C-alpha cells in the first residue's frame, strides 16, 4: 500500500529533508523502498517498481483461496496436507511439486479452525511481530467482551482472538461475530471475504480495494453501529502516530453509521500495547485510560504474566470505556480501588498525595516530593537532573538533551524549535 512521509533531521537544524518509506517495514532489509519527497522518479524506475510488485503478489487471490479451502475440507483426513515451507494448504494434484518440502499431514478440522497454531509466526519486531495471545489473555478478553454485551469484534491484528470467536460460532448460546483485519495474507486460506480482510494498519490500506473496505464498513454499521468493539494488538516497534491515524479512520467509519444522537461518542476500543507508550497514546486519544491487566503471549520469552516469564509482562489494555466497567480477575490478585473506581494490581497502592493508584508495572511505586509524582521504587532523585532516575544514569547536564536544539527536558518530537508541517 501507500508509503508514509518521514523527515530526516540533523542535530542542531530546525528543518529536515522529507522522504517516503515503507509504511509497514521499518527495516530497509525487509523493504528497501526509499524516495525523497522532492525527487523526480524516471519512467524506467517506475516500471521496475511495478514489475517488482507484480512478481511479489501472492500465488492465489483471496477468492481462489476460499474455493481451495472448500475443496480441501472435502478431502479425507489422510489426504489433507499443509506445506510448512510454502505455508500453504495443498490439494492432491500439488503434492508432487512440494515433494521435497516439509509437510504437515492429516490436518484435522480442529486444526483448520486454529490456523495460528500451525502457521509459522512472523516475528520481525518492527513489521509483523506476531506474538500471539496466550489462552489466559485470549479467554479473558473474550469473556470481558461478552460480559460487556458486545456482539461484534473488529479484530485488528488479533488472529488468535478471531479464531477463538470463530471456533465458538457453532455454539447455540454464543452470539459474538468477528472480522479479522490483518497484514498476514496466509489467513485468507482459512477465512471467507466476510471474515478476513487483508489490511495494513500503518496506513489504513485495504489490499482488497473498495470491496474489502465495504465489508469492513458494513460490519461496523450493522445494528446502527451498536454493540461493536475494536480490539487491536499492533507490533510494538510500530509508529504510534501512524497507528493512531489508522484507528481514527476506522472509528470515523463507525461514526458514519447514520445513527442520530451519536454526538462525541467514540467506537469502543481495546488497544493492547506496552505501558511505557501511555503518554504517546493519550496524546492522540485523551479519552483513553490504561488498565492494570497484564496481557501475555505464547511465543514471547519475556511478555508473560506473573512468575511464568523472566519478568512480568509490560503489555496493557488501553480503552475508552469507563474503567470501572473493566472487571479484572480477583483470583489473579487484582482488586477494586473505590477511590480510583477501577481494578488495579495487588501491588498498586493508592497514593494519597497523587490521589491515584500510580504504579504502571505492578510494583509498589513511591512518591517523590520534589518531582511531585510517584516514581519506580528503584529510582532516586538526582539534584543535577532535577528529576528521579536510576542511580547509575547519565545526567542530562553531561550533554544528553533534545536532538534538535540540545536543551534538556524534552525530546526531538516535542521540540518547540521544530516547524511542524
C-alpha cell at 10: 540533523
Which are the contacts of 94, defined by CB distance < 8 A and separation ≥ 6?
none
Dump pLDDT digits (tens) for 319-349: 999 999 999 999 998 999 999 999 999 889 9
- Give residue 14's pLDDT band: very low, low, confident or very high (50, 70, 90): low
Mean pLDDT of 130-150: 91
Could you tell me where the DSSP H helices lie in 9-130?
Answer: 43-55, 62-74, 109-112
Ramachandran region, residue 93 (left: φ > 0; alpha: ψ -120 to 50; beta: rest): alpha
pLDDT of residue 13: 66
Set of cell numbers at residue 272: 493492547
420 exposed, middle or buried (CB, 10 Å; 0-12, 13-18, 19+)? Answer: exposed
Q: Which residues pair with 200 in a beta bridge?
A: 205
Question: Which among 416, 219, 417, 248 is positioned nearest to 320, based on CA atoms?
Answer: 248
What per-residue confidence (pLDDT) applies to 383?
87
Looking from the CA of 392 toward its CB, the CA atoms found within 13 Å total 0
| Other Cβ atoms within 10 Å of 110 Cβ, number | 9
126: confidence class by pLDDT, cuts 50, 70, 90 = very low
Grid cell, residue 411, equals 525530546
CB–CB of 138/160 below 8 Å?
yes
Interatomic CA distance for residues 112 and 163, integer angstroms: 10
**At which residue does the C-alpha cell 495494513 appear?**
200
Q: Give yes or no for a contact between 395 and 381, defined as CB atoms under 8 angstroms apart.
A: no
Report pLDDT for 125. 45
Quick count: other Cβ atoms within 10 Å of Cβ 286?
9
Using alpha carbons only, give the angle 163, 164, 165 rounded to the nearest 5 degrees: 90
The lowest-confidence range among 63-72, 190-199, 326-335, 395-404 is: 395-404
- Spatial separation of the C-alpha atoms in residues 288 and 278, rounded to whole Å: 9
pLDDT at 405: 61
Residues 364-384 pLDDT 10s: 899 999 999 999 998 999 988
pLDDT band at 177 (very low <50, low <70, confident <90, very high): very high
* Residues comprising the chain, all counted: 421
CA 159 to CA 136: how far, in whole Å? 15
274-310 residue pLDDT tens: 999 999 999 999 999 999 999 988 865 555 555 443 4
Percent of the chain residues topping a pLDDT of 70: 86
Please tell me whether residue 305 adopts helix, strand or coil conformation.
coil
Q: Calculate ∠ Cα 107-176-225, nearest 5°.
A: 135
187 contacts 179 by C-beta, under 8 angstroms: no
pLDDT tens digits, one per residue of 109-119:
989 999 988 88
pLDDT tier at 409, thresholds 50, 70, 90: low
**DSSP code at position 408:** S
Q: Is 289 helix (H, G, I), strand (E, B) or coil?
A: strand
DSSP string covering 146-190: HHTT--EEEEES-HHHHHHHHHTTTSTT---EEEEEES-GGGGGT
Per-residue pLDDT, 398: 47
Looking only at the bridges linking them, the beta strands covering 177-182 and 196-200 are parallel
Give, as one character, the DSSP assignment of residue 79. G
Residue 19 has pLDDT above 60, yes or no: yes
Crossing angle (nearest 10°) for helices 240-255 and 209-221:
60
- The answer to whether 204 touches 142, Cβ cutoff 8 Å, is no
Look at residue 199 and give its three-state secondary structure.
strand
Average pLDDT over residues 407-420: 57
Mean pLDDT over each residue of the chain, to the nearest integer: 87
Amino acid at each position: 500500500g501507500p508509503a508514509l512521509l518521514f523527515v530526516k533531521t540533523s542535530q542542531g537544524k530546525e528543518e529536515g529533508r522529507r522522504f517516503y518509506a515503507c509504511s509497514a517495514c521499518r527495516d530497509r532489509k525487509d523493504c528497501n523502498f526509499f524516495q525523497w519527497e522532492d525527487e523526480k522518479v524516471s519512467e524506467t524506475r517506475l516500471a521496475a517498481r511495478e514489475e517488482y510488485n507484480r512478481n511479489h503478489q501472492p500465488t492465489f487471490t483471496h477468492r481462489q483461496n476460499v474455493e481451495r479451502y472448500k475443496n480441501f475440507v472435502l478431502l479425507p483426513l489422510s489426504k489433507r496436507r499443509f506445506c510448512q515451507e510454502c505455508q500453504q494448504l495443498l490439494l492432491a494434484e500439488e503434492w508432487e511439486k512440494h515433494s521435497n518440502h516439509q509437510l504437515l499431514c492429516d490436518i484435522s478440522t480442529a486444526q483448520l479452525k486454529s490456523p495460528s497454531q500451525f502457521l509459522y509466526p512472523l516475528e520481525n519486531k518492527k513489521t509483523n511481530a506476531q506474538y500471539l495471545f496466550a489462552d489466559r489473555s485470549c479467554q479473558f478478553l473474550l469473556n470481558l467482551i461478552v460480559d460487556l454485551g458486545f456482539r461484534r469484534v473488529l479484530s485488528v491484528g488479533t488472529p488468535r482472538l478471531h479464531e477463538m470467536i470463530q471456533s465458538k460460532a457453532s455454539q447455540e448460546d454464543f452470539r459474538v461475530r468477528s472480522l479479522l483485519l490483518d497484514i498476514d495474507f496466509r489467513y485468507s486460506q482459512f477465512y471467507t471475504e466476510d471474515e478476513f480482510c487483508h489490511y495494513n494498519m500503518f496506513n489504513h490500506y485495504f489490499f482488497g480495494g473498495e470491496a474489502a473496505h465495504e465489508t469492513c464498513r458494513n460490519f461496523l454499521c450493522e445494528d446502527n453501529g451498536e454493540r461493536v468493539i475494536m480490539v487491536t494488538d499492533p507490533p510494538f516497534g510500530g509508529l504510534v502516530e501512524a497507528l493512531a491515524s489508522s484507528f481514527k479512520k476506522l472509528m470515523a467509519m463507525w461514526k458514519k453509521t447514520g445513527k442520530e444522537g451519536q454526538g462525541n461518542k467514540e467506537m469502543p476500543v481495546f488497544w493492547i500495547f506496552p505501558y511505557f507508550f501511555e503518554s504517546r497514546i493519550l496524546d492522540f486519544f485523551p479519552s483513553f485510560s490504561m488498565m492494570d491487566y497484564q496481557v501475555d503471549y505464547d511465543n514471547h520469552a519475556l511478555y508473560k504474566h506473573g512468575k511464568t516469564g523472566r519478568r512480568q509482562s509490560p503489555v496493557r489494555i488501553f480503552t475508552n470505556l469507563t474503567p470501572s466497567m473493566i472487571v479484572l480477575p480477583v483470583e489473579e490478585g487484582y482488586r477494586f480501588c473505590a477511590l480510583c473506581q477501577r481494578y488495579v494490581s495487588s501491588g498498586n497502592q493508592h497514593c494519597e498525595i497523587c490521589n491515584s493508584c500510580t504504579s504502571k508495572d505492578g510494583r509498589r511505586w513511591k512518591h517523590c516530593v520534589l518531582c511531585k509524582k510517584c516514581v519506580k521504587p528503584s529510582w532516586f532523585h538526582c539534584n543535577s537532573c532535577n528529576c528521579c532516575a536510576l542511580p547509575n544514569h547519565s545526567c542530562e547536564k553531561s550533554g544528553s538533551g533534545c536532538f534538535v536544539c540540545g536543551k534538556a527536558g524534552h525530546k526531538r518530537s516535542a521540540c518547540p524549535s521544530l516547524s511542524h508541517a
